[in-house]
Amino acid sequence: MFGADVILRMAAVQGWLGSWSRLTDSRRDPFSGIYQLNAFDLAIVIPYFLVLGVLAAYGLHRYWLVYCYSKHRANIPVKPAEPTLWPKVTIQLPIYNERYVVERLVEAISRLDYPSGLLEVQLLDDSTDETQEVARGCVERYRALGLELGRLHRANREGFKAGALAEGLKSASGEFIAIFDADFQPSPDFLRRTLPYFSDPRLAMVQTRWTYLNRDYSALTQVESILLDGHFVIEHGARARSGRFFNFNGTAGVWRRKAIDEAGGWHHDTLTEDTDLSYRAQLCGWRFLYLQDIECPSELPVEMNAFKAQQARWAKGLMQTAKKILPRVLRADLPAGVKAEAFFHLTANISYPLMVMLSTLLLPAMIVRFYQGWVQMLLIDLPLFLASSCSISGFYLTAQRALYPQSWTRRIMYLPFVMAVGIGLSVRNAKAVLEAIFGVSSEFARTPKYRIEGQSGTWRHKGYRNRAGWMPYVEVALGLYFAATVYYSIQNENYFTAPFLLLFVWGYLYTGVMSLGQVWLERLHIGVRTPEEIRPAASGVPGF
C-alpha cells in the first residue's frame, strides 16, 4: 500500500508539472518566442531574485574576507618581551551542570605556569545537579595543593553566564581576567604567552584560537571543526589584520579589567554577551588582538540536537547584538570600512531565513526560469548561485590550507558535507533569527559536554539532553521536497542543477533524521536518565 501510494502521489505531481508545462508553452509569444510572465510568475520570480541577490551579497563578502586575509597576511603581531613583574590575573570558570568535565577543567588550570601568588581562580558554579558536589570536591582538593581557588554559587542564575561573570568581578582582584568555559583545556604556558601583549596600554582583549579534543570522533565533529576553523582563521584573521572590529568568543581569551569596566561591564540582554561587550569596548577606543598561533583545546558537541541548539543560540544572539549595537556603530566616528564590516558581521545570520525562503521558492522558480530559456539562466541565475554558494567552499578551503598545509587535501572530501549541514541548519537558525528580530524571548538551551576525547567515549548513557522539538520534521519534509525538485530537474534534462539540489536533499535529511534518530535511540535505553536542560531566565531575559 505504501509503495502504491507513493507512485500515485508522484504521478499526481508529474501531472501537475505537465499541466504547468502546457500552460507555460501557451504563454510563449509565437513571433518572438519570448516567454510572457503573468502575475503569478512575477510573484515567484521577484522574491526569488531578491533573496538570491541578498545571499549573493553575503557570499561576495566571504570572498572579500578571504582576499583581506591574504592581503594582510604580513600583519602578524610580534610577541613583546616578557614583563619583569607579572601582573595579577583572575581566572573565571563559569559552569552550569558540567559534572563530566569540571574536574578536567580545574586540573588544567592547576597546571598553569604562573606565579601562584599572582593567580586567583574563581569557579562560578550555577549548577543545580550533582556538579555542585563535584565542584566542592575540586575546590577542597586543589586548595590543599596551594591553588588559590574559590567557588561562587548562585541559586537564581540571573543573567546566566553574563550574570555569573559580573558577579565574579565584584570580588575579583586581578588586573586581567582570563575566561575558560567548562570544556576548555588551556596549555600550561597560556598566560605567559598572552599577557606580554598587554604592554600596549590600549589593548583590551587577547583572543586565542580554539582547537578540538574530539575532532576525529565523527563526521559531524569534522564538519563542526571546519566551520569553526573558518571563523577563527578567515573571519578573525581578516578583521584583526585589517583593523576592523572583531569579537571575543566567550572563552580562551584574556581581558584587561579596566576595559570591561569602562565599556559598561557584562550585559545579559543578548545571548552573545561576549560580542556585545566586544563592540562596546571597541567603540570606547580599546584595541583587540587575535593570536592564531596560540591554541586552546576544547570539546565539540557530538550530538546533533546539542550542535543545533548551540548554533541557534549564536545566531539569535548575534542578531540581538546587531539590533542593540549596530546603530551605535553606524553613528560613530569610524572609517567606512569598519562600519561596513560590522554590518556584514552582525547581520550575517539573516541568511538563514532567506535560505528557508529560497528553499520554498526554488522549485516553482526553476520551472518559470526553465521556460524563459537557458541563456537567461546562465547569465543571471548561475552567477548569483556561484556568488552565494561557491564562496562557502572557497572560504573553508582557504582556512584548511592555512592551518594544515601538509594535509589539507584530505579535508576536501568534507566540503560538500559542510555545505549540506549549513543548509540543514537553516530551519532552526531561521527561527532563532526571527525571534531576535521581533523581540521574542525564548528558553535557553545549553550545550552539554560529555568528556569525549579523540575517537573514544559515548554520550548515550549520560545525562543532559537538548530537545529535538518539531523542527526535525520540517527539515525532513524539506528534504523530501527537494528530492521532488531533483526529480523534476532530471525529467526536464536540467542535469546541471541536480548536484546543487542534492546538497539541499542531503542537508535537510541529514540534520532532520539525525535529530530524530538520536532521540529515538535514546528512548530505547530504558532507565537512562535525561534531565531537563532547558530553563527560562529568572529575569525573563535570555542569556548564557
Whether residue 448 sits in one domain with residue 401: yes
Alpha carbon of 451 to those of 98, 300, 536: distances in Å? 10, 10, 26
Contact by Cβ (8 Å): 129, 100: no
Whether residue 65 sits in one domain with residue 88: no
Quick one: average pLDDT of 387-391?
67
Whether 391 maps to a domain, the answer reads yes
**Residue type for 346, please?**
L
Active site residues: 126, 274
Whether residue 514 sits in one domain with residue 403: yes
With a cut of 80, say whether residue 68 has pLDDT above it. Answer: yes
Whether residue 65 sits in one domain with residue 150: no
Contact by Cβ (8 Å): 298, 210: yes
Torsion (CA) 430, 432, 433, 437 in degrees, nearest 10: 130
Number of domains in the chain: 2
Could you tell me how many helices (H) and strands (E) the chain has, helices first?
20, 9
Domain region containing 284: 80-302
Whether residue 182 sits in one domain with residue 52: no
Whether residue 457 sits in one domain with residue 370: yes
Residue 241: band (very low, low, confident or very high) from pLDDT cuts 50, 70, 90 = very high
Lowest mean pLDDT among 33-42, 99-108, 149-158, 240-249: 33-42
With a cut of 80, say whether residue 307 has pLDDT above it. Answer: yes
Q: Which residue has the cell 582582584?
A: 173
**Half-sphere exposure in the Cβ direction for 424 (13 Å, CA):** 30
Q: Phi and psi at residue 177, in whole multiples of 5°?
A: -120, 115
What number of other Cβ atoms are within 10 A of residue 258's Cβ?
A: 13
Q: Give which of 271, 310, 278 is closest to 435, Cα–Cα.
A: 271
Quick one: average pLDDT of 512-521?
84
pLDDT reported for residue 328:
98
Residue 276: band (very low, low, confident or very high) from pLDDT cuts 50, 70, 90 = very high
pLDDT over 90 for what percent of the chain?
64
Distance separating alpha carbons of residues 113 and 387, to the nearest angstrom: 48
CATH number of domain containing 291: 3.90.550.10
Task: Supply the pTM of this predicted model.
Answer: 0.88
SS3 207: strand
Residue 469: band (very low, low, confident or very high) from pLDDT cuts 50, 70, 90 = confident
Whether residue 94 sits in one domain with residue 64: no
Per DSSP bridges, beta strands 149-153 and 119-125 are parallel
Burial category of 453 from C-beta neighbours within 10 Å (exposed 0-12, middle 13-18, buried 19 and up): middle
Whether residue 158 sits in one domain with residue 55: no
Last residue of a domain, one of 238, 273, 302: 302
Whether residue 169 sits in one domain with residue 93: yes
With a cut of 60, say whether residue 1 has pLDDT above it. Answer: no
Whether 344 maps to a domain, the answer reads no
Top-confidence range, 400-414, 450-464, 526-540: 400-414
Mean pLDDT of the chain: 85
pLDDT reported for residue 527:
43
Whether 276 maps to a domain, the answer reads yes
Whether residue 95 sits in one domain with residue 39: no
pLDDT reported for residue 172:
97
Quick one: average pLDDT of 387-416?
85
**What angle in degrees, to the nearest 10, is found between the helix axes of 39-71 and 391-403?**
20
Whether 338 maps to a domain, the answer reads no
Q: Phi and psi at residue 77, in whole multiples of 5°?
A: -65, 140
Last residue of a domain, one of 273, 302, 331: 302
Quick one: average pLDDT of 168-180?
98
pLDDT reported for residue 531:
43
pLDDT reported for residue 492:
79
Q: Phi and psi at residue 113, in whole multiples of 5°?
A: -90, 90
Element (H, E) at 475: helix 471-491
pLDDT over 70 for what percent of the chain?
83
